[in-house]
Amino acid sequence: MEQELPVFSIIVPTYARPGQLTSCLRSLARLDYPRDRFEVIVVDDGNKAPLEGVVVPFHERMNITLISQLHAGAATARNTGASRAKGEFFAFTDDDCTPAQDWLQALAARFALTPDQAIGGRTLNALPDNPYSTASQAIIDVVYAYYNAEPNRACFFASNNLALPADGFRAIAGFDATFTASEDRDFCARWLYDGHRMTYAPEVQVHHAHPLTLPTFCRQHFTYGRGDCRFHQACVRRGTGRPRLDVTFYLALLRYPFSQVPGRRASLMAALLAVSQLAKTTGFLWELASQTARRDPQKISEDSG
């Protein structure tokens, strides 16, 4: 007798991207998985325009629920969705992602082997003609190749293609809602710290369509830098020590354009990767300075005077 397929709760936080959310929901409606074995929970993170017009047309195609909250960020939105979820496994993706048709099938096959682990899949850039989106995805590719080199001992997954047992998610209290960026990095660190394991499954795929310009590319990595600062501080509070600067990783990032990108595009990619790291460092230092100013505004005022 074949083992019954697990029940998934797919949780999709969304903010100010109704068109991309529609594409995401279309892909979920096409999933090759029994309709009674998954639900979709869309969490409206304070959109100005109501999303019923986007979500309601999918009611006849899958079990879908729309939840609304005041704008509080993706981490809070994912936790809100999880609080209403009924599945034995949670599968997280974002409103600008389109999971492959076999996404849940591939996850189910992995969970049949390792039901207590977190599974992270591969994210593919859906905008190859956008150099900024391509560079941003390249950074993730290098991160995965470096930190998940041993797939059964993976260390980091982005939250746009992450699945895990619901009980395990609840046991570590979900995402830390104080993070506005790097909440996935913090979540993975806490998951491992709690004694769980993570497996990288490249056959579990989603396509990511996040259009970027130079200003939004810089802003994205500036925000990542601020999140990294908070992550480093959280590690210190947990007693795991402040993460060290990993020179080997940055050398891998530096080599990536010249080993993976053809022709003149390699130079552009290298320049954008350098810009991303400069923006990220600036964000890190900005967050440190902002925290210092909030802790001791009188001292800052005296120093500036």
CATH of the domain at 110: 3.90.550.10
Does a structural domain hold residue 283? yes
- Evaluate whether residue 165 is within a structural domain: yes
Looking at residue 216, its pLDDT comes to 98
Tens of pLDDT, residue by residue over 203-221, are: 999 999 999 999 999 999 9
Q: Is residue 132 part of a domain?
A: yes
Q: Which of the four pLDDT bands, split at 50, 70 and 90, describes residue 297?
A: low
Please give the angle made by the CA atoms of 264, 270 and 275, to the nearest 5 degrees. 135
Within a 10 A sphere around the Cβ of 223, how many other Cβ atoms? 18
Q: How confident is the model at residue 240 (pLDDT cuts 50, 70, 90)?
A: confident
How much is the pLDDT for 264? Answer: 85
Q: Which whole number is the average pLDDT over 138-160?
A: 96
**pLDDT surpasses 60 at 35:** yes
Q: How does residue 245 score in pLDDT terms, banded at 50, 70 and 90? A: confident
Residue 300 maps to a domain: no
Inside any domain, residue 198: yes
On the CB side of 224, CA atoms within 13 Å amount to 18
**For the packed helices 183-193 and 214-238, what is the interaxial angle rounded to 10 degrees?**
30
**What percent of the chain shows pLDDT beyond 90?**
86
Q: What pLDDT, on a 0 to 100 scale, did the predictor assign at position 305?
A: 44
In this prediction, residues 243-272 reach a mean pLDDT of 89
**In this structure, what is the dihedral angle of CA atoms 279, 285, 291, 295, given to the nearest 10 degrees?**
-160
Helices 297-304, 265-295: crossing angle, 10 deg rounding:
110
Least confident of 17-21, 96-100, 118-122, 178-182: 178-182
Whether 201 and 159 have beta carbons less than 8 Å apart is answered as no
User: Helix or strand or coil: residue 148?
Assistant: coil
Per the domain annotation, does 303 fall within a domain? Answer: no
Domain assignment present for residue 200? The answer is yes
Q: For residue 139, name the pLDDT band (cuts at 50, 70, 90).
A: very high
Residue 162 has pLDDT above 60, yes or no: yes
Q: Which residues contact 180 (CB under 8 A, 6 or more apart)?
A: 73, 75, 223, 226, 227
Is residue 1 over pLDDT 50? Answer: no
Give the residue from 132, 181, 128 showing the smallest Cα distance to 158. Answer: 181
Instruction: State the chain's mean pLDDT as an integer.
Output: 93
Q: What's the domain range around 116? A: 8-294
* Half-sphere exposure of residue 159: CA atoms within 13 angstroms, side-chain side: 25
Q: Is residue 60 part of a domain?
A: yes
8 A C-beta contact, residue 107 and residue 122: no
107 or 1, which is more confident?
107
Calculate mean pLDDT across residues 240-261: 86
Domain count, the chain: 1
pLDDT for residue 300: 45
